[in-house]
Amino acid sequence: MSEKKLNKSDIVKMFIRSNFLLGSFNFERMQAIGFCVTLIPALKKLYKGDELSAALKRHLEFFNTQPFMATPIMGITAAMEEQKANGADIDEGSISGVKIGLMGPLAGVGDPIFWGTLRPVLAALGAGLALTGSIIGPLIFFIGFNAIRLATNWYGMFYGYEKGTQLVADMGGNKLRYLTEGASVLGLLVIGGLVSKWTSINIPFVLSKYTQSDGKEVITTVQSVLDSLMPGLVPLLLTFLCMYLLKKRVNPLLIIFGLFAVGILGVACGILQ
């Protein structure tokens, strides 16, 4: 029996399919169909008949992780299936074990990096430009995010396949923790900046008004007092209030409605502008 080997085009096919991982997301087994569909090009090449059915079934098991971090898991799974198809002593349990064992830690890395840092930062940058009506805003967000995403999916798929089970050992090291913590530091620092710079609250409520000896009129508003203390103080306090409410499990949409109410009341009373 000749050795069954996956080639580059099989891995590329898997990469293309990995971009649709969440297509049939459901509440029972989440990304299971998507994971199975991604592996189909490899499984069809490696197995026939009953073996193929068994392979398809084991990849319809529960699966859920951060979508871009799924690709190294798909790569390593393909590598294990390849060894199994060539008679290596790998049972179904160990393949599932690797999948389940990796999806949690990798989601723990992917969530803060992609959803916590990359997307909000690029989106805030793009939205700031978009508010002026510039097409560069949406383009920066779209091209920037997708370039990094596709590179992650491509590299992740090949890296997972080439490293095989060795990847599981790599995950045990401190590398993942460094990556997560490093990304969190970068993300928090940029968000700190965004809180001050990219929020606009203006409280033009007049506190005092007098005319200087040279005839200039000096108007002191709530906002000018706050700005002389610490620019961005109100957004900072609001952010911490929201964090507190979210931790108390208040629905974010409810908080958004609450802030809308504040805005409307503020405009109605002339406090906000």
Window 124-183: residues binding another protein (CB under 8 A): 124-135, 137-138, 141-142, 145-146, 149, 174, 177-178, 181-183
Which one among 90, 176, 201, 222 touches another protein, defined by CB under 8 A? 201
Which one among 46, 74, 194, 223 touches another protein, defined by CB under 8 A? 194
Window 27-86: residues binding another protein (CB under 8 A): 27-30, 32-34, 36-37, 40, 43-44, 49-50, 52-53, 56-57, 60, 64, 67-68
Report which of 67, 181, 188 is spatially closest to residue 117, judged by C-alpha positions.
188
For residues 196 and 88, what is the distance between their CA atoms, to the nearest angstrom?
58
Decide whether 132 or 211 has the Cβ nearer to another protein.
132
For position 265 contacting another protein by CB under 8 A, the verdict is yes
For position 199 contacting another protein by CB under 8 A, the verdict is yes
Q: Buried b / exposed e across 25-55, counting CB within 10 Å, b at 16+?
A: eeeebbbbbbbbbbbbbbbebbbeeeeeeeb
Strand partners, 206: 221
Other C-beta atoms closer than 10 Å to the C-beta of 104 total: 10
The 3-state DSSP class for residue 63 equals strand
For residue 30, the 8-state DSSP code is B
Q: How far is the CB of 269 from another protein (least distance, A)?
A: 10
Give me 150's structure tokens. Answer: 């596709």
For position 264 contacting another protein by CB under 8 A, the verdict is yes
For residue 118, the 8-state DSSP code is I
Q: How far is the CB of 40 from another protein (least distance, A)?
A: 5
For position 225 contacting another protein by CB under 8 A, the verdict is no
For position 263 contacting another protein by CB under 8 A, the verdict is yes
For residues 102 and 108, what is the distance between their CA atoms, to the nearest angstrom?
10
Report which of 48, 51, 38, 75 is spatially closest to residue 168, judged by C-alpha positions.
75
Window 239-258: residues binding another protein (CB under 8 A): 239-240, 242-243, 245-247, 252-253, 255-257
* Phi/psi of residue 64, nearest 5 degrees: -160, 125
Decide whether 66 or 164 has the Cβ nearer to another protein.
66
Count of residues of this chain found to bind another protein when the rule CB under 8 A is applied: 113
For position 107 contacting another protein by CB under 8 A, the verdict is yes
Q: How far is the CB of 120 from another protein (least distance, A)?
A: 5
